[in-house]
Amino acid sequence: MTDAPSTIAERSAEVLVRSTPTVIARRVRGLSDRAIAWLFITPTIALLLAINIFPLIWAVYLSFTNFRANRPNAEITGVGLRNYQRVLNDPDIWIAMQTTAHFVFWTILLQTVIGFSLAYLIDRKFRGHAFWTTVILIPMMLSPAVVGNFWRFLYQPQIGLFNYIVSYFSGIPPSSFEMLGSVSLAPWAIIIVDTWMWTPYVMLICLAGLRSIPDYIYEAAEVDRASAWRQFWSITVPMALPFIMLAVLFRGIENFKMFDMVMLLTGGGPGSTTEVASITLKREAFESWLTGRSSAFAIILFVAVFGLANIYVKALNKVKQR
């Protein structure tokens, strides 16, 4: 662990060393509070250092080299910032980013609109709303990979249920379109599955937001004779906004990393129309074996997610204060 120049790492190690004599001294009569605190926290930190931080530092190191994992015995030479320059000037990776952006934008838009509407309706508290809420929540708990794999069957041009239902309502012959095989439809096939799966997530958080609005605010608005429309836009939406932001940020982070579903539905195809950043990264790292370069790419994605995570925690604290 000594080659991990993380300040947190050094500090926690230092404290552990310092508190060790105390541990032994107090063994008989019970441990001091500080010893217990570190004794309880250190295993978790140690595990995270070993499985998360150490590999991350290794990846940072590799991103400055021309290392290739399929040639472990070849000499490793440093290449400076060249890997980063390449990744950040590569038009293909830039296009993968745009594909990712396309997914992130549409899935978040659809999920927020549908999720918020559902939450608003469930908040009417009709009979049996608790039961139906649970039913709606089921898709988000399932494995995206296993369910995504089955959607491939639903999307089959001739025999698939999806095409059948679409043709039943629209009259288009079910074998005339291929959701997964056509360049224009494949992104939407993935967006539909993602929306089906994760709308409940947004709905659940929005519902918590709506329920956090105290009744007296509406009562006061009612006294002031504010119209229902006005109440919706000047009370409901602003009061639920921190919650909506939380859901949007989290879905944003998750969909930025989207991998399972795309891998199983289209594998990035047809061509590279659905090749999102994670798929490109997987190709560079585990098919082309450009480990150094893909490490640089991974670090870029990591920095992006880390930045968003900071904002996410800020949003989390804002919601917590409510």
Partner 1 sequence: MTNHRLTTCPPRQKRPFFIRRGPMENIATVLISAGFLMLFQPFLLVLYTYSLAALLAGTVMFIIVSKFPE
Partner 2 sequence: MSSVNAAHSVVEPTPTSKRIAGAIVILYALVTMIPLAWIFLTSIKSPPDSISYPPKIVFSPTLEGYCNLFTTRTRQTPDYIQSLPPPTGTCDEITRSRNMVIAGPSNYWPRFGNSLVIAFGSTFLAVLLGTFAAYGFSRFRVPLADDLLFFILSTRMMPPIAVAIPIYLMYRQFGLSDTALGMILLYTAVNVSLAVWLLKGFIDEIPREYEEAAMIDGYTRLQAFWKVVLPQATTGIAATAIFCLIFAWNEYAFAVLLTSGSAQTAPSFIPTIIGEGGQDWPAVAAGTTIFLMPILVFTIILRKQLLRGITFGAVRK
Q: Is 78 in a helix, a strand, or coil?
A: strand
What residues numbered 117-156 form the site for partner 2, per CB under 8 A? 118, 121-122, 124-129, 132-139, 141-147, 149-151, 153-154, 156
By beta-carbon proximity to partner 2, the closer residue of 106 and 236 is 236
The binder of partner 1 chosen from 41, 51, 310, 322 (CB under 8 A): 310
Alpha-carbon distances of 232 from 117, 125, 203, 235, rounded to whole Å: 12, 17, 17, 6
| Nearest-angstrom CA–CA distance, 226 and 220 | 9
First to last CA, the chain: 41
Task: Return the residue matching tokens 């929005």.
Answer: 206
169 binding partner (options partner 1, partner 2, none; Cβ < 5 to 8 Å by kind): none
By beta-carbon proximity to partner 1, the closer residue of 64 and 155 is 64
| Nearest-angstrom CA–CA distance, 281 and 150 | 25
By beta-carbon proximity to partner 1, the closer residue of 99 and 163 is 99
Amino acid at 71: R
Query: x/- contact string, 82-111, with partner 1 (CB under 8 A)?
Result: --x---xx-x--x--xx-xx--x-------
By beta-carbon proximity to partner 2, the closer residue of 185 and 301 is 301
Q: Does position 24 bind partner 2 by CB under 8 A?
A: no
Minimum distance, C-beta of residue 236 to partner 1, in the bound complex (Å): 25
164 binding partner (options partner 2, partner 1, none; Cβ < 5 to 8 Å by kind): partner 2
Q: Does position 215 bind partner 2 by CB under 8 A?
A: yes
Amino acid at 19: S
Taking alpha carbons only, the member of 75, 67, 53, 6 closest to residue 296 is: 67
Whole-number CA gyration radius for the chain:
25
| Nearest-angstrom CA–CA distance, 171 and 276 | 33
Q: Which residues bind partner 1 (CB under 8 A)?
A: 15, 18, 84, 88-89, 91, 94, 97-98, 100-101, 104, 300, 303-304, 306-308, 310-311, 314
